[in-house]
Amino acid sequence: MAKIVQCVPNFSEGRRKEVVETIVAEIEGVGGVKLLDWQTNESHNRAVVTFVGEPDAVKEAAFKAARKAAEVINMEEHKGAHPRMGATDVIPFIPISGVTMDECIDLARELGRRIAEELKIPVYLYEEAAFRAERKNLAAVRKGEYEGLKETISLPERHPDFGAPRLHPTAGATAVGARPPLIAFNINLDTDDVSIAKKIARAIRGSSGGFRDVKALGIMMEERNVAQVTINMCNYKTAPLYRVFEVVKAEAARYGVNVLGSEIVGLTPADALIEVAEYYLRLEGFRKDQVLEKRLQE
């Protein structure tokens, strides 16, 4: 099966599109890489680029993008609403198909080392790629942001995982990590009572004692006048779509509320949906390579 890794680097430039385009061009110039999407946010002053491909090609594209970002972005002049510490702020690698999380962790660490050595930008490893447990959480890594980290990076507990303990004078520092794919999954309830959606969100999200890798909020969809549980599925293997859906259905039932439907926003790996089919059809002994398209990728 073809090995497919996704990479979603975030860059600290969201206003000068022509600058972001030069970074995107570096990614597109690498053979074996496919650009899926790029978006800028003015108030965040930040760009998010999504691309996929074979592991080595994705790693090379991420390096070239980080090198270009260090040339064209000056953190001394950067202001934006989103927390950030570097020109290339974060680079997560995400296993999509035929690739393990361990391979993505290796990619992150190899890239991190190269960025530190060749670009002289200090690198922190986060999420699954973290060397230190306290760095799994990106918010902890980025604490103080670019301005604060200028001082605190010299403290032993804030030393980078690769590179010298001082910020690059214009490109700051970069966090490189590995994480499972995230699926944006919303479930609409047959009620206009948002308090029910909020209660259900609490039941399923890890921070309130629900599924560890699920984030959820109850909100009102004003245009349809229905309450919605809006969910980030941060790991569809530990908390599959069908399980979260069934719990939402069961919790809604105690309030006499039905589930109207659901939606997936943006992209999802095929496996996340195939596992839903396996569950509801009670499929026994199904192997992913029985999916014709997977055989074609072999």
Should residue 96 be labelled a site residue for a second copy when binding is judged by CB under 8 A? yes
Question: Contacts with a second copy in 238-257 (CB under 8 A)?
Answer: 241-242, 245
User: Do 51 and 27 touch, CB atoms closer than 8 A?
Assistant: yes
How far is the first Cα of the chain from the last one, in angstroms, to the nearest whole number? 3
Which of these, 114, 91, 92, lies nearest to 162 by C-alpha position? Answer: 114
CB-neighbour burial class of residue 142 (10 A; exposed 0-12, middle 13-18, buried 19+): buried
Contact between 131 and a second copy by CB under 8 A: the answer reads no
159 tagged catalytic:
no
Q: CB-wise, 140 or 250, nearer to a second copy?
A: 250
Distance CA 86, CA 66 (A): 10
Q: Which is nearer to a second copy, 146 or 236 (CB)?
A: 236
3-state secondary structure of 126: strand
Q: Taking every pair of C-alpha atoms in the chain, what is the biggest distance, in angstroms?
A: 60
Token pair 């943006």 in the structure block, residue: 266
Give least dist CB 171 to a second copy, A: 30
d(CA 261, CA 245): 10
- In the bound state with a second copy, the residue whose beta carbon lies nearer, of 117 and 263, is 263
Question: Which residues, other chains included, contact 193 with Cβ-Cβ below 8 Å and sequence gap of 6+?
Answer: 227, 255, 257
164 part of the interface to a second copy, by CB under 8 A: no
Name which of 140 and 277 has its Cβ closer to a second copy. Answer: 277
Considering the candidates 78, 82, 159, 168, report the single residue annotated as catalytic. Answer: 82
Out of 25, 36, 140, 164, the only residue in the binding site for a second copy (CB under 8 A) is 36
Under 8 Å between Cβ of 1 and 297: yes
Q: Does the footprint of a second copy cover residue 292 (CB under 8 A)? A: yes
* Spatial separation of the C-alpha atoms in residues 63 and 115, rounded to whole Å: 7
Alpha carbon distance 209, 245 (integer Å): 17
What is the nearest approach in angstroms of a second copy to the Cβ of residue 284?
A: 4
**Residue 52 CB, nearest approach to a second copy (Å):** 6
Under rule CB under 8 A, residue 273 binds a second copy? yes
Region of 11-19, 155-163, 204-212, 275-283 interacting with a second copy (CB under 8 A): 275-283
User: 45-84 mask for a second copy (x: CB under 8 A)?
Assistant: -------x--------------------------------
| CB 96 to a second copy: min, Å | 6
The residues carrying an active-site annotation are 82
Interface residues with a second copy (CB under 8 A) are 4, 6, 34, 36, 52, 96-97, 181, 188, 241-242, 245, 259-264, 266-270, 273-274, 276-278, 280-286, 290-298
